[in-house]
Amino acid sequence: MHTKTIAQLAAGLKAGEFSSVELTQHYINRIQTFDNGLNSYISLTEERALAQAKRADERIAAGKAHVLTGIPVAQKDIFCSDGVKTSCGSKMLDNFIAPYDASVIESFNNAGSVMLGKTNMDEFAMGSSNETSFYGPVKNPWNVDCVPGGSSGGSAASVAARLAPASTGTDTGGSIRQPAALCNLTGLKPSYGRVSRYGMIAFASSLDQAGTFTQTAEDAALMLSVMAGLDVRDSTSIDEPVPDYSASLNNDVKGLKVGLPKEYFADGLDADVAKRVDDAISEYKKLGAEFFDISLPNTHLSVPAYYIVAPAECSSNLSRFDGVRFGYRCEEPKDLEDLYKRSRGEGFGSEVKRRILVGAYALSSGYYDAYYLKAQKIRRLIANDFTEAFKQVDVIMSPTTPTPAFKVGEKDDDPISMYYSDIYTIAVNLAGLPGISVPCGFVNALPVGLQIIAPYFAEAKLLNVAHQYQQVTDWHQQMPETFK
């Protein structure tokens, strides 16, 4: 059963080939068998999952099922889940039991899906390799000596190893698309505001967006149909009609205008990765797509701008974790100042501290205009580049990452090099656009991803373009031999 897609599992449940309880138990067994070597889950909610599965079977029998009813899903441990530990991969929240459901969790509950557990992640979503988690690094199922990408590495690894048919993630600077590329998955980051952030623990509020990891674009369409929509509890949620994302999947792409930004195919891109992307482009040409060279001239400023804006917002968002109201509290503080200092010093990891310090500095008196304000102006220039490009083309294609997965520990002493592993994804977040990564081949037995970017709220087009590629290739069907 674990080799099936969501669409296939939903059909099997509807036809009575197996029950949701049987399906859920199958995945629980796989998690218990395989996850010790991957560390993709922080919490396994076995009892809750089986209870949800039983209710789902009753709903299916009554003819009141949604397409995701009875489907097991792994949830990133950044989404508050009522009665379940929600840690954000941090010692700071190791003892935090959420008192309510995030909008994303609520949406899946309403659809009747089953939560298998909460997946491992970089601490407070800060990282590109899933090595900053308080619970230890996640391993890449394709090669356990390599990273799965981050921050949503646990979500990616769980689906790649078929320890879940699908999972949720969050994407602040590439944290869905990058691990999807490194783990051979379809990773969807919707437009900013398309999915509610209510109950999603904030890293950088103007950049964070919830999305999905699935085997196929068809499955991503099913997941997004549940997650998308206006939520009055989130002031950044957009009141934009939610289309039937599955309805346009089979539209052909003949005449599709595709832009290839020269800045994404320059120095720094691994030659073998470039070849796999070129091969994918050739497949689209056979399907009738037309390609045009374009320029996104401010791309080189995206990483430095991001690493001012994101740390500034994280510095503000994480100020609430002070050892007083909830979360980690140091032992026997001498006074209030000691309580604050030691609780934060002991509760946060080194990468989180680094970004808090950078953000506090950028927002400080005398430096706000020089750094934060300037970064926001650059952000506007980057968004304008995309606006101009989409006057000429329908979508933009590029590599998702400059290289395949790197070794665990390889970039521990070089945070700048780590930051640049997101160089092709960050600009999309700064502009608030939707993007998707789809499998397009392998380099030295490690997966490579093709990134597709679309205009605001054009997720249906994005999913259609990805789906058509997956109809003529089978990269997305490949899974690691160890987990078959």
Beta-carbon count within 10 A of 260 CB: 17
- pLDDT (0 to 100) of residue 325: 87
Nearest in space to 317 (alpha carbons), one of 204, 455, 407: 204
Which amino acid is located at 322 in the chain?
D
Looking at residue 97, what DSSP letter applies?
A: B
Pairing of strands 186-189, 210-214: antiparallel
Question: In which region does residue 238 sit, left (phi positive, over 0), alpha (psi from -120 to 50) or beta (all else)?
Answer: beta
- Residue 477 vs residues 8, 12, 344: alpha-carbon distances, Å: 13, 19, 44
pLDDT at 365: 87
The pLDDT value given to residue 93 = 98
Supply the pLDDT for residue 391: 98
pLDDT at site 137 = 97
382: its two tokens: 């980057």
**What is the maximum span of the chain, computed from C-alpha positions, in angstroms?**
70
E strand segments, 252-351: 257-261, 290-294
> Does residue 76 carry a catalytic annotation?
yes
Hey, which residues does 143 pair with through a beta bridge?
140
The pLDDT score that the predictor gives to residue 352 is 97
Residue whose structure tokens are 């056979």: 286
Tell me which fold the domain 6-256+392-483 belongs to. Answer: Amidase signature (AS) enzymes (3.90.1300)
Q: What residues does each domain of the chain span?
A: 6-256+392-483
Quick check: is 421 catalytic? no
Given the residues 19, 76, 139, 421, select the one marked as catalytic: 76
Q: Which residue out of 107, 151, 302, 437 is catalytically annotated?
A: 151
- Which SS3 state, helix, strand or coil, does residue 284 take? helix
Could you report the average pLDDT of every consecutive run of 10 residues in the chain (484 residues)? 97 97 98 98 98 98 96 98 98 97 98 98 96 97 97 98 98 98 98 98 97 98 98 96 96 98 94 98 98 96 95 96 93 96 97 96 91 96 98 98 95 82 95 98 98 98 98 98 94
- Tell me whether the omega of the peptide bond preceding residue 133 falls within 30 degrees of 0, making it cis: no
Of 90, 158, 175, 225, which residue is the catalytic one?
A: 175
Judge whether 118 counts as a catalytic residue.
no
